[in-house]
Amino acid sequence: MSLDLRIEQVPGDNGAGEWLRIDTELHRELNARARAVAMIVHGRVFYEVMEEYMPRAREDASLPDVLREYGEIWTAKPKVLVSRTRHAADHNTRVIGGDDAIEQLAALRAETDGTIGVGGASLATQLLRAGLLDELLLTTHPAILGFGRPLFDDYDRPIELDLLDHRSFGSGVTVRHYAISEAA
């Protein structure tokens, strides 16, 4: 995200703007964190961006090793796609949809050992509202976009966070890991 909490400047860029600074050091950190999760839950838009690129990335010798490695991690990791419009997906992915999707995710959370990673702004906001997020991992790029898609949709009450750890990278990017303490 940008310093002003934007995840895309132009509608449809799906977080692929030129303002992002994802270097090898940052990618290795994110790969390690992705490897450590038990499962990944994606909203449809985020999933479709990953689905388009990651399975091919793992075999593309022209890409840096960190991207090929992430392609391997993403493709092999158990995933859940939350979508009202898609009913099937490949790459070790289960699809959850319908009006009870949040309840289905709550049940999945209760039966899963380990950390579940979440990708997708709308989905993250819904899970935050439902009290199903315990932590946030926020990657901030040194840019102010001024407009565009915010990280979180409007939220009806403040949420207090406790900083667990943070790391700065030479590119100016910071990764902050927060525990969600409670509503303020």
pTM summary value: 0.88
Instruction: Please report the pLDDT score of residue 45 as a whole number.
Output: 86
Instruction: Please report the pLDDT score of residue 184 as a whole number.
Output: 44
Instruction: Please report the pLDDT score of residue 11 as a whole number.
Output: 61
Residue 72 in any domain: the answer is: yes
Q: How many CA atoms lie within 13 A of 133 on its CB side?
A: 24
Domain at 171, CATH number: 3.40.430.10
> Which run of H or E residues covers position 81?
strand 79-82
Instruction: Please report the pLDDT score of residue 114 as a whole number.
Output: 94
Residue 99 in any domain: the answer is: yes
Q: How many angstroms separate the CA atoms of 50 and 90, rounded?
A: 12
Per-residue CA distances from 130 to 95, 137, 155 (Å)? 19, 18, 11
Residue 163 in any domain: the answer is: yes
- The residue ranges of the chain whose pLDDT is under 50 are 183-184
Residue 23 in any domain: the answer is: yes
pLDDT tens digits, one per residue of 3-23 = 999 887 666 655 557 888 999
Hey, how many other C-beta atoms are within 10 angstroms of the C-beta on 53? 16
> Which run of H or E residues covers position 168?
strand 159-168
Instruction: Please report the pLDDT score of residue 183 as a whole number.
Output: 47
Residue 121 in any domain: the answer is: yes
Instruction: Please report the pLDDT score of residue 165 as a whole number.
Output: 95
Counted domains in the chain = 1
Residue 1 in any domain: the answer is: no
Instruction: Please report the pLDDT score of residue 12 as a whole number.
Output: 60
Residue 93 in any domain: the answer is: yes
Domain interval for residue 136: 6-183
Residue 178 in any domain: the answer is: yes
Average predicted confidence (pLDDT) for the chain:
90
